[in-house]
Amino acid sequence: MVMGEMFAQLGSVAAGAVFLWAMFQQYFPHQLRPYIEKRKRSEAYAAIENYLSANSSTRAKRLKAAIVKDSQSVVLSMDDHEEVTDEFHGVRLWWASNKSLPKRQTISFYPAADEKRYYRLTFHKQYRDLIVGSYLNHVIKEGKAIAVRNRQRKLFTNSPSQKWYGRKKSEWSHVAFEHPATFETLAMESKKKEEIVNDLTIFRTRKDYYSKIGKAWKRGYLLHGPPGTGKSSMIAAMANLLNYDIYDLELTSVKDNTELRKLLIETTSKSIIVIEDIDCSLDLTGQRKKKKEKEEEDEESRIIQFLRRGKKVKAKKARLLYPGF
């Protein structure tokens, strides 16, 4: 009798556990799915997928389309169990896409449909050193470059410091950057335009050089002129040429150097940092309302700290600095 009651209680507990797990799996994972997927997806897989997208669209029999986060276009890739060919330094290679399903169901925080997709690379064994030493790095590098070209670039502005804390804390807010300006449409002396384009092109490819000499990978430009003379269009044209995001830094809303450092740390690689009306912050012209001497010193200190931080914070980032007035 006692054993029967014990089994009845165990059965009740087990049924309750199954019910709770079903409820947990049905509702809870959906709330965590964006965070889980962000960590699950392999960066290498995404880079290979981008690299193969060009070959896939012309050679694969079946394609699948996806809208990737922050991308401004649909990404086409070969469907499951498809194969495409590639060539590198005269060597022919074969890429195949595959997927595998879990052999057995296990308790997991991940969504129930846990398919694992992967690419298989086939090549002749005599080219192993070339593939491992050069080709794979080439694929990852080109794949990341394609992702940068296809992504939706952003225009950031710094948020007031009182909005930095809480559930949705953010030092920067952003909107999509869709300015049409290019160097082809920019009204500028042809020789000067060519000099700037060449300078930017060299800068974009000199990451290893800056690392070798121990300097931050950055470039500074000072833009000045009356309103309407094309300063903003120049910055937009540079951003479109380099495929960089833009950070519009309003120094008057930065309280101290600690806040300034936090803002710079939160900027992304390959971005343009713009300081507008720097003369207003420094009170250089003498035409604006004078501040108290202490306030002027604080403002000037922040400008100096900004220029110094640009050298120290995240030295491997590519940056263009635009103090302007």
CATH number at residue 283: 3.40.50.300
- Interhelix angle 190-204/231-242, nearest 10 degrees: 40
**HSE (side-chain half, CA atoms, 13 Å) at 175:** 4
Q: Are residues 228 and 311 in the same domain?
A: yes
Do 294 and 241 fall within a single domain?
yes
Is 10 a member of any domain? no
Domain that holds residue 145: 32-150
CA quadruple 264, 266, 268, 272: dihedral sign:
negative
Between CA 317 and CA 306 the distance in angstroms is 15
Query: Quick check: helix, strand or coil at residue 307?
Result: helix
pLDDT at 41: 54
| Cα separation, 270 vs 62, whole angstroms | 35
| Tokens of residue 135, six digits | 């080709």
Predicted local distance difference test score (pLDDT) of residue 285: 41
**Predicted local confidence at residue 18, as pLDDT:** 44
Q: For residues 135 and 187, state if they share a domain.
A: no
The pLDDT of residue 184: 92
The pLDDT score that the predictor gives to residue 107 is: 58
Q: Of 213, 245, 253, whose CA–CA distance to 319 is shortest?
A: 245
- Bridge partners of 180? none
C-beta of residue 254 within 8 angstroms of C-beta of residue 302: yes
Q: Are residues 249 and 288 in the same domain?
A: yes
pLDDT at residue number 193: 93
132 and 159: one domain? no
Question: According to the model, what pLDDT value does residue 100 have?
Answer: 78
Mean pLDDT by 10 residues, the chain (325 residues): 48 46 47 46 80 71 62 66 86 87 59 70 92 92 83 86 62 88 91 94 89 87 85 92 90 81 85 78 47 53 54 47 47
Together in a domain, 170 and 95: no
Strands (E), the chain: 63-66, 75-78, 83-88, 91-100, 116-122, 154-158, 172-176, 218-220, 245-249, 271-275, 319-323
Question: Which tokens hold the place of 155?
Answer: 């225009």
Residue 136, pLDDT score: 92
Question: What local confidence, expressed as pLDDT, does residue 168 receive?
Answer: 55
Instruction: Output the pLDDT for position 247.
Output: 93
The reply to whether 166 and 224 lie within a common domain is yes
Which domain-ending residue is among 150, 185, 214?
150
Query: Is the residue at 23 inside a domain?
Result: no
Of 67, 123, 55, 116, the C-alpha closest to 91 is 123
What pLDDT is attached to residue 170? 73
Cut 0.75: pTM above it = no
Residues 144 and 171 grouped into a single domain: no
Q: Which residues of 301-313 are buried (b: 16+ CB within 10 A; e: fewer)?
A: ebbebbeebbeeb
Check the CA dihedral 61-67-69-75 and report its sign.
positive
* Last residue of one domain, picked from the residues 150, 166, 194: 150
The last residue of one of the domains, among 114, 132, 150, is: 150
